[in-house]
Chains A and B, each alone.
Chain A
């Protein structure tokens, strides 16, 4: 069995970015997503780029992991670029072939938009690269806490998330086991027409679901036996703490925003 199986794409480390409170990271990324759209000139893009690259290098996550994280979205970035390149009709025509005319405005627009996209993905993937899924769950539980007043089941939601995270590897191992068992009985998952291959999934899914339900039932019983009675009066082992470094990062980020607005206005 694969012992090195990692859920999500967390890269263990001890950098400043790793040690930041997950709530700090989520809040900053939340605002970053907005301010990316405020950038409108080279200087403002420069500020955002410096911020993103600085966070990347502080995190000490090897570049290849970041590139790996970006692979699924390269297509989108390039697609955005091409779309803007051909569709925008501003500025002067800089190239012309067949029925297409490429305008200078389109080129600038294309670069700007796809670069925005790139920055967004870079920064958000840094969150998942430097934060364990369980920390993210804790942070979400804590940040959604005010919603409790509106009877929103915050604790239950967080528990569901953490239990699903805990069972993902277990169910993957089980899928592997069942697919081997079915393959040994002659089910062919790998060859044949697509229709046949989709049909072959059925003998894999049925036992998997049956066992997942059985697990759920047993887990519920075990939790009850261990005194689980909902979120009321519960304490937590894991604690989130805003440290001096978090405050420092917030202040730094405030300067980034201020710098961005200045770059917008004075150019």
Chain B
């Protein structure tokens, strides 16, 4: 039995008392060592979920349980030890004057002794392959490098849950790949539960499970492969279907007998050549 780390029980949330409901009666669970992608178009409530997980916001209805503790005013400081967050804008979450100061920030807040901090700075910076940049100032780093530092600073407090809230949205494709690769390798090393929040279907490919949000409700919860099958429905709720999925679809309609819905270029190529060698 895997350990349940995050649980949403009938959570509803709105800003103020009069506003429209941003989240309506959402329930889901996330287990340890699991990678869950939450996708949805802008305003679907996906970023609200991230803020609720960290106690930056509190739900009006329902409850959120993280590692056995309910999220409320009294527990937020211990919850924030368990839940690390990386935000969208690389610049606006970089607090320190240099890379190592930024990684230290979260630990300083928690009163970690200096020697321990130094050790963990070295460890986490090498985990994100930024060990050569310790003393560099943020304005000399690229967006992808800043986000890697942000990941390292979150890892330094060894959380159980890591949330990436659109962490790649402001990066170029190479920066995006950098982050996704880093995150993938870290998750396996540390056995974290990883929650990536995105509006880009391409980024859900590596996840174990996908939660699709639409106007504040959970629209679907499934494996990435299953999600990719529902192209028309996805388009209807405002999500861009990746090129490979569209191509596979067109090929099928043209009479090419593909086995499964491919997730990426490699799988499509694999399908095509095996098919070709069979016929």
Contacts and interface: CB of A to CB of B under 8 A. Distances in A.
Given A218-B89, A221-B87, A237 B95 contact: no
B101 A227 contact: no
Contacts of A233: 111
Contacts of A214: 92
- Top 8 nearest A-B pairs (CB, nearest first) are A222-B93, A237-B104, A169-B139, A218-B92, A227-B109, A226-B106, A134-B97, A225-B85
A234 B94 contact: no
26 contacts: A1-B139, A3-B140, A134-B97, A162-B97, A169-B138, A170-B91, A170-B138, A170-B139, A173-B139, A214-B92, A218-B92, A219-B95, A222-B92, A222-B95, A225-B85, A226-B95, A226-B105, A226-B109, A229-B77, A233-B111, A234-B108, A235-B108, A235-B117, A237-B100, A237-B104, A238-B101
A229 B109 CA distance: 7
A236 B117 CA distance: 9
A254 interface: no
A89 B37 CA distance: 84
B114 interface: yes
A177 B59 CA distance: 39
Nearest to A172: B139
**Which of B56, B110, B112 is packed against the most chain A CB atoms within 10 Å?**
B110
A99 interface: no
Interface in B177-191: none
A213 to B, nearest CB: 11
Interface string A99-139: 00000000000000000000000000000000001100000
Given A223-B95, A229-B109, A237-B121, 16 more contacts: A5-B139, A134-B101, A162-B97, A165-B97, A166-B97, A173-B139, A215-B89, A218-B93, A225-B80, A225-B87, A226-B153, A227-B77, A235-B108, A237-B101, A237-B118, A239-B114
Nearest to B103: A237
Nearest to B100: A237
**Which of B87, B95, B139, B153 is packed against the most chain A CB atoms within 10 Å?**
B139
Nearest to A217: B92
A226 B107 CA distance: 9
B2 to A, nearest CB: 26
B103 to A, nearest CB: 9
A147 interface: no
A152 interface: no
Contacts of A219: 92-93, 95
A163 interface: yes
Interface in B19-45: none
Interface in B53-101: 54, 56, 77, 80-81, 84-85, 87, 89, 91-98, 100-101
B157 interface: yes
Contacts of A156: none
B216 to A, nearest CB: 21
B154 interface: yes
B250 interface: no
Given A218-B92, A219-B92, A225-B85, A237 B97 contact: no
Nearest to B118: A237
A224 interface: yes
B226 interface: no
Contacts of A30: none
Given A218-B92, A237-B114, A228 B56 contact: no
Contacts of A165: 97
Given A166-B138, A169-B139, A221 B111 contact: no
B113 interface: yes
Nearest to B95: A223
